[in-house]
Structure formats: structure tokens, C-alpha cells
Amino acid sequence: MLQEAGKSSATEAVLLRLITPVLKLYAGKQCVPLISEGIECFGGQGYMEDTGLPTLLRDAQVTPIWEGTTNVLSLDVLRVFSGKENVLQAFQKRVSELTSNVKNGEDKLSKAKEAVEKALKALQMHLVKGGDSALSNSIRIDAVARHISFAISRIYCGALLIDHASDKSTAQTADVDVAYRWCCEQPLIDLQSEWFSTERVESDRGIVFDSYAAEPQQRGSKL
């Protein structure tokens, strides 16, 4: 709304441009297994059409498709980072603001903040390496676009949970536990540098196409 009214700052506009595809792809992807688990709780009734429950799962599946698919949206996220604005710096600043109320220590929120900061540094390392033109012939950053987008999603969710849990006027013990579990009991970033090397991409291609040659006449008969 601030952007539409012309009152948003440059940083806010950049963050909106980044978070929009991130939100769409992550929420769309997560809702399918979440609803599947929910339906499973109903046992056989979760399969019976007259309960209306199976419809929930079918409708959920349309979300990661209709919203642009995670692959397309992840490539859009990379496009945002390739723009003129320093998107990474803006994102880092926002995460820092959200976690600023938590001081270093041994409590759960401190550990959650530490996990977010560690993941953010790893994300920066991968993005900087992926954007190095000198390495353009040896790496394919687009090959890990989804990994990067999911990492941004988890990091930002973690920062928001920490911000909520650090508000002493409204936060409950459960809020602290949720923030800790989200940030410390799952990998916020699941990515390794070798995953976007050209050698790895070619290996992926070989696995997917199972030795199918580029030219039809080079393929062995499957009959």
C-alpha cells in the first residue's frame, strides 16, 4: 500500500520486490505437504469425497502451480538480485532489524539469532560467488535457484519469528520455543558450492536423461 501511495522508501520497494516471489513460492510449496498431513489425521475420512477433505488437498496442489511454479519464481528471485539495487544488503539490514532486540547469550532466542546470522552469511557467500563474472564458465547459479529461494524464505521466517518472540509485551513461552525450533532444529540454508558447478549440472543432466544422447540416431533401441 505504501508503494502504491508513493510513500515507500527505496529499501522498502526493493524488499517488496524480493519477498513477493519468495512468499508465493514458499507458501505454495509448503501448503501441500502440510494439508496432506492434516488429512492423514482424519484416517479413512480424509479419503472419502463426501467429507470434502480430499478437495482441500487437490486445491492446495494448484497453489505451487498457479502462482508460477517454484522454478519460475526462483529464477525471478535471482533476477531481483541481478538488478542495480543492492538487494542483498537491504535484505541483510532488514533481518538485522528484526533480530536486534535479542542480545547475545545462551538463551533460546540468542541461539536462534545466531543460527539466522550464520545462514545469512552462508547465503551471502553463495550469492557473491554466483554473481562473479570471472566464474561464469564454471558455475551455474540458476541450477540452485530454488535452494537459494528456500533459504531466503527460511531465514526471513526465522527473523520474523524471533522478532515476534522478543516482544516482551505480547510474547509467550511458546513463541520463544517456536522461534528456536524453526531456526535451530532445521537447516535454514541447504546448499553447497559444488551443487552449482557446471560439472554438477552436467551430472544432473546425465541422471535425468539416463544416457539418452542428444541425437536420436545415437540412442539405443528400447524395444
Q: Which residues contact 63 (CB under 8 A, 6 or more apart)?
A: 27, 28, 31, 32
DSSP string, 152-188: HHHHHHHHHHHHHHT-TTT--HHHHHHHHHHHHSS-S
Does residue 3 belong to any structural domain of this protein?
Answer: no
pLDDT score at 150:
97
Q: How far is CA 103 from CA 29, 161, 207, in A?
A: 33, 15, 47
Does residue 1 belong to any structural domain of this protein?
Answer: no
Domain count, the chain: 1
Does residue 213 belong to any structural domain of this protein?
Answer: no
Question: What angle, rounded to 10 degrees, do the helices at 145-165 and 10-40 form?
Answer: 90
CA separation for the pair 215, 205 (Å, rounded): 15
pLDDT score at 220:
52
Encode pLDDT of 146-202 as tens digits: 999 999 999 999 999 999 999 989 999 999 999 999 999 999 999 988 888 888 888
Does residue 220 belong to any structural domain of this protein?
Answer: no
pLDDT score at 1:
53
Global confidence as pTM: 0.86
The residue range of the domain holding 130 is: 10-206
Which single residue is written with the C-alpha cell 524453526? Answer: 182
pLDDT score at 34:
94
CA separation for the pair 66, 169 (Å, rounded): 39
Does residue 74 belong to any structural domain of this protein?
Answer: yes
Q: How far is CA 2 from CA 77, 85, 133, 148, 221, in A?
A: 22, 19, 36, 28, 61
List, for the chain, all residue ranges whose pLDDT scores fall below the cut of 50. 221-223
Q: In 3-state terms, what secondary structure has residue 197?
A: strand
Does residue 98 belong to any structural domain of this protein?
Answer: yes
Does residue 47 belong to any structural domain of this protein?
Answer: yes
pLDDT score at 3:
56
pLDDT score at 223:
42
pLDDT score at 30:
94
Does residue 215 belong to any structural domain of this protein?
Answer: no
